[in-house]
Structure 1
């Protein structure tokens, strides 16, 4: 049993979904995504939480250029596979109250995108990694441009140009590493072994990878495409972008950039830490001023990603473990938060926080789910956001106490603007707009119920996720320290 089944099943499922229409396409997409989740569960049950690569597939692909279809799973990849396969069925469920023109194409694109992201999270070949990286971009481009808001074309083109331009720098780095590797191969571990490049060359490789990953995350100051794209994209597209796709950039930093160019990483570590911490404060301040709920969540996401980046660049076990569980937690929370705003905008036709109020009085179940998601987002103890942010701040503290003090503002700021948003939307008296707000039911209740269970469950007992990635994280840190000589 190899990882190829996880990669190719969504592709075959997408082709099958294209044959269906309307409601049938929706049900088929959900069915196939649940099957994919079940297969991921089988992989998890058979997974041994050590530092080895498991379920590996290696087959000649384009031998003329040295490219192999080489993919496998270790503890770091396993966490990302779980994130992807858990969130895709939930995202499809969030669309059940919507009607989409050419629904079969819409759901097929979601499944194609899932396949591309799984390639990124499991690739052990640089060329395959790049192909998966671009393959995940194409479906989301069409999802945003065909089913997005009024300004979707302009915003989506900006998003595509930003991310594609960054990808080209990464491609150059991959090609360069190919020629530097023994035997001229794209194999990831051969790239690691080529870490004896000169300091200047490693610096160039580091920045080429960094541009691609920083844009995808996004990290300050490469974030300008994000708020507009998140706002204009259809809700399912926003959830795909924020819940899973931005983690491709974080994963790329951990798996590819730092281990391949450890000396470049050491050289530029402080600068990137400064950018990450600035992003935390900058995005939080901008979030204070937002009146559009979806846009507020978009800036909140930038702040959280900034803290994850800071924890990673501190480069210790607490930081990487914190990043792993925080990627899971952020994915769950941000999907829940965007679904909350999807429900509000669908019922009331607005996302303007100032026009709302008193919804808790007419929709108590909705208000409870909303509050649990908010508390997870602001990292209240015993919610999923707490352990990740605690480990990340601990990591940054070990690196520099002043960086930790500034980065910790994300918790304070986040609590202020998130709780203020909740108060303005849910508390107070109802008005003509909110008085008839209907409480959640059907698929809405199912999705929010699952999300709330995950928020509380991971908050109370996060050890299973930490255990999966622990050995792989320690092995990677050791590898980088040896090759980087620090």
Structure 2
């Protein structure tokens, strides 16, 4: 048992084994239970790493093996205070996403893709060398493409082809940047320590910066690289949308913090004003578009663009509060957006529509849903004592230290977000009851369990944000102090 608790590679291996097993399961009932059991096993094995984690700036639970000896490439994984919260987010949300899919008649293929994607996501967050990071980055893209293309609705093939092309092109630019970096060092290494120690010229940093930024900005997405996102989120199945919004976009933000800032700091600093302007434009633009949406899924899709715009602005602020807020808000956003997309799926299943005009007065028939919906919604808005408040406060503090006007416009996400999210709740839960709403039943069983868990952590992280902040503080401080210009 100690081997399981000390071996970080086991956390990568379990979802891969699960994916292999599930790919041969042809019946829906055993497939969903196998998927849930293995995801819960992964979550359970994550707890000892969290409990024994020391909140300093060191890389812990390190493992390294020679991968491609001729190229000097190692398979190097480990955890620090920046990646630990994302491990808990990933392995915590996957069981909820699987449980939320129980009512669907998905066979083993669907859950195999979810498990394989989980392994790719974890490798991204564990990787201490850029080659392993890139492998995980690409490995996570393939399964989500097939999940959205095979189980999505509407014009899903065209929409997901656009999504794949966008993200694949971004990955190609990152690969070119990695090859360039590999050729710069005398040791020919892609280890994080080696890359961050390179003495790159200002011009070289600019080229590396654009290679990394395009990959990360598309994945997040940052304005104007967002055009794939609303359609993809809208036409993806509920589980696919939760994976995309809840976990996958965090890969991009994590990439900014882990790789872009320390490898090309001069370039990031020189372009910081442009980056901040793009983030603020994305916040205001997406918030205004969200206000106009009648399709609930598209509303939350645009809301997500606005929120991750503020998270990205916190990263580019160059202040510890901004980076701390970004890490905390990645966890908070993951919780909130998974809950909101699941609520939309539940109501759509009962009413046959995602249009807000078909949802009025649902609280009459669905009082339990109305309660958990309100809690999760308040977290997404950033109401004090909910998870979103401290994260948004830290982000705005970091952006304010960068420039007061950026904070003023960036803060519009709180005001506009409150407007369109409360409007969303009013049009769906309150007001006159729509005829379709008279036939619906309240949430129970798996639905109630999933949403109650999300609502619980929405409140817990609202009153105890230090659970995340204590993990990341030392690593964030060390990262900023050790950046070399």
TM-score range, shorter chain: over 0.9
Does residue 28 of the first structure (1) align with residue 34 of the second (2)?
A: yes
| 1:275 alignment counterpart | 278
SS in 2 for 1:57: strand
Match of residue 460, structure 2, among 457, 462, 465: 457
| 2:184 alignment counterpart | 180
The question of whether the paired residues in 1 share the 8 Å contact of 2:55 and 2:474 is answered with yes
| 1:126 alignment counterpart | 130
Match of residue 375, structure 2, among 341, 358, 372: 372
| 1:333 alignment counterpart | 336
Q: Aligned residues, how many?
A: 479
Query: C-alpha deviations, 1:146-169, integer Å up to 9, x for none?
Result: 000121100000000000000000
Match of residue 433, structure 1, among 436, 456, 460: 436
CA distance in 2, matches of 1:335, 1:120: 20
Match of residue 171, structure 1, among 175, 186, 202: 175
The question of whether the paired residues in 2 share the 8 Å contact of 1:340 and 1:370 is answered with yes
Match of residue 87, structure 2, among 46, 71, 81: 81
Query: C-alpha deviations, 1:284-310, integer Å up to 9, x for none?
Result: 000011000000000000000000011
Match of residue 143, structure 2, among 131, 139, 162: 139
SS in 1 for 2:436: coil
Per the TM alignment, residue 329 of structure 1 is displaced from its structure 2 partner at its CA by 0.3
| 1:262 alignment counterpart | 265
Match of residue 316, structure 1, among 319, 344, 348: 319
Query: C-alpha deviations, 1:327-360, integer Å up to 9, x for none?
Result: 0000000000000000011111100001220100
The question of whether the paired residues in 1 share the 8 Å contact of 2:59 and 2:79 is answered with yes
| 2:195 alignment counterpart | 191
The question of whether the paired residues in 2 share the 8 Å contact of 1:47 and 1:54 is answered with yes
| 2:245 alignment counterpart | 242
Does residue 217 of the first structure (1) align with residue 223 of the second (2)?
A: no
SS in 2 for 1:251: helix
Does residue 15 of the first structure (1) align with residue 20 of the second (2)?
A: yes
The question of whether the paired residues in 2 share the 8 Å contact of 1:319 and 1:396 is answered with yes
Per the TM alignment, residue 223 of structure 1 is displaced from its structure 2 partner at its CA by 0.2
SS in 2 for 1:435: helix
CA distance in 2, matches of 1:363, 1:146: 31
Any unmatched runs of 5+ in structure 2? 1-5
Per the TM alignment, residue 432 of structure 1 is displaced from its structure 2 partner at its CA by 1.4
The question of whether the paired residues in 2 share the 8 Å contact of 1:123 and 1:129 is answered with yes
Any unmatched runs of 5+ in structure 1? none
Match of residue 115, structure 1, among 100, 119, 125: 119
Match of residue 388, structure 2, among 362, 385, 390: 385
| 1:447 alignment counterpart | 450
The question of whether the paired residues in 1 share the 8 Å contact of 2:12 and 2:119 is answered with yes
Query: C-alpha deviations, 1:367-394, integer Å up to 9, x for none?
Result: 0011111111000000000000000001
Per the TM alignment, residue 182 of structure 1 is displaced from its structure 2 partner at its CA by 3.2
Query: C-alpha deviations, 1:10-49, integer Å up to 9, x for none?
Result: 1011112223321101000000000000111111111111
Per the TM alignment, residue 216 of structure 1 is displaced from its structure 2 partner at its CA by 0.1
Per the TM alignment, residue 315 of structure 1 is displaced from its structure 2 partner at its CA by 1.2
CA distance in 2, matches of 1:267, 1:109: 40
User: Stretches of 4+ moved more than 3 A in 1?
Assistant: none
